[in-house]
Amino acid sequence: MYELQNLNKVRVAFGTGVLLELWRGKLVEPPTTAHFLTYFDGRCRGNCRFCPQARESTADLEMLSRVIWPKFDLEAVLAALKEKSDKFKRICIQAVNFPGVVGVVCELVSRVREVCDLPVSVSCQPLMHEDLRRLASVGVERIGLAFDAATEEIFSRVKGSEYSWEGHMAALKDAKAVFGDKVSTHLIAGLGETEEEMVRSFQFFHDNRVTVALFAFTPIPGTPLSKQPRPEIASYRRLQLARFLIANNLSKAEDMSFEGGRISNFGLDEESLEKVIDSGDPFVTSGCNGCNRPFYNESPRGPIFNYPRKPGRRDIEEIKKLLRSPD
C-alpha cells in the first residue's frame, strides 16, 4: 500500500500554483477551479493511450494533458489554499489509479476542507460502492468518471485493458446511487468517433443526468497517440453547440440531422440557433460548474477549443464563419 508516503506531497496544476503563489508564472487566463492530482512515484495502473500518466507511456510524469503539475509539499499547499481560496470557485482532485488511492483522496479532501469550504470534485477511475460512500462522507460534492470515448468500440481501443465499457457503466450506476445528479464524465472529441456518435453519447449522458465535460484530443509526446491529429476546429464547434443544446433541453440528438456522420442540422429554428450562438455560451469550457480549465487542450496562441471565459464579439464572428463553413 502507498498511502503514507503519498500523503505529504500533491501535484498542483501550473495555473493553480501561480494563483496560490507556490511559484511564479504568467497567466493568460486564471483558472477558476484549483486543480490537484494525487502524487504517486510511479505510473498509473490504467493505460489510456492518450494519457501521459499511463502505465506504458514514456511521457513526463509531471504532465496531465499538455499541462505540467509539479509535485509540492502538501502542508505548504494547504497553507496557501487557506489564504487564497477566494480566488477559486471549486476544487478538483484528479486521481491516478494506484493501490490505496481512495485513502489518499479521502485524506486530501479532508485536509482541503479543513482550510476552505469550496465545493470539491473528484475525478477518478471506477470505484466500489463503499469507496464512493467514503468519498461522499468526507465531503466530496461531485464525482467524475471519465468515459473519454464516445463509443464502446473506441473505448476498448483507447482505454487499455484495465477498464471495460461494462465496468464503467456499472460504476456510473453506483456513482449515481451515491452522488445523484452530481456526477460528471469527460468525453474527448478526436479519438475516431463521428460527430453523430459523439452527439448520441451527449444525449445518453444527458438522459441519465450526467454532466458532460467536453475535451479536444491533445497529442502528447511519449504516448501511443502522440502522432494523431487534433480534431478539426469547425467540427469541434459543431459538437460544442450540440452538447450545449442537449444539456439545456433546447434540442435532442433525435431532432438533429447528420450527413456522413457529420451534423447537418441542429434541430432548432435558425433564429433561436443564432441567438444561442451569439451568446457565446456553447463554446465555453463545459463540466462541473466553476471549472474553466484554461488551455488544457491548446496553447493560448490558439486555435482555442474550450474558451475559459465567454468568447468576445470577434471570436463569435469567427465561430459563425466556422459553423457556416463546408469543412
Enumerate binding residues for ligand SF4 (CB under 6 A): 33, 90, 92, 121, 123, 144, 184, 186, 213, 287-288, 291, 293
Nearer to ligand SF4, 35 or 43 (CB): 35
Maximum Cα interatomic distance, the chain, rounded to a whole number of Å: 58
* Among 31, 9, 6, 7, CA closest to 20: 31
On whether the CB atoms of residues 111 and 74 are closer than 8 A, the answer is yes
Q: Which residue is nearest to ligand SF4 (CB)?
A: 287
Count each helix (H run) and each strand (E run) in the chain, helices first. Answer: 10, 12
Task: Extract the C-alpha cell encoding 223.
Answer: 504516448
- Nine cell digits for residue 157: 481501443
CB of 144 to ligand SF4, least distance (A): 3
Residue 278 C-beta: closest distance to ligand SF4, Å: 25
Sign of the CA dihedral with 65 first, then 238, 158, and 152 last = positive
Give min distance, CB of 177 to ligand SF4, in A: 18
Q: Is the Cβ of residue 224 or residue 308 nearer to ligand SF4 in the bound state?
A: 308
Q: How far apart are CA 306 and CA 162, in angstroms?
A: 29
- Grid cell 485493458 in the structure block, residue: 161
Which of residues 81 and 92 has its CB atom nearest to ligand SF4 in the complex?
92
Residue nearer to ligand SF4 on the CB measure, 50 or 266: 50
Task: Report the residue number, 55 or 186, with the smaller CB distance to ligand SF4.
Answer: 186
Cβ 281 to ligand SF4, closest distance in Å?
16
CB 123 to ligand SF4: min, Å: 4
- Spatial separation of the C-alpha atoms in residues 13 and 69, rounded to whole Å: 4
Contact 29, 35 (CB under 8 A): no
Shortest approach of ligand SF4 to residue 211 CB, angstroms?
Answer: 7
Between 253 and 291, CB nearer to ligand SF4: 291
CB of 213 to ligand SF4, least distance (A): 4
135 within 8 A of 100, measured Cβ to Cβ: no
CB atoms within 10 A of CB 69: 25
Identify which of residues 16 and 121 has a Cβ nearer to ligand SF4 in the complex. 121
Sort strands 262-265 and 183-189 into parallel, antiparallel or unpaired.
unpaired
CB 93 within 8 A of CB 120: yes
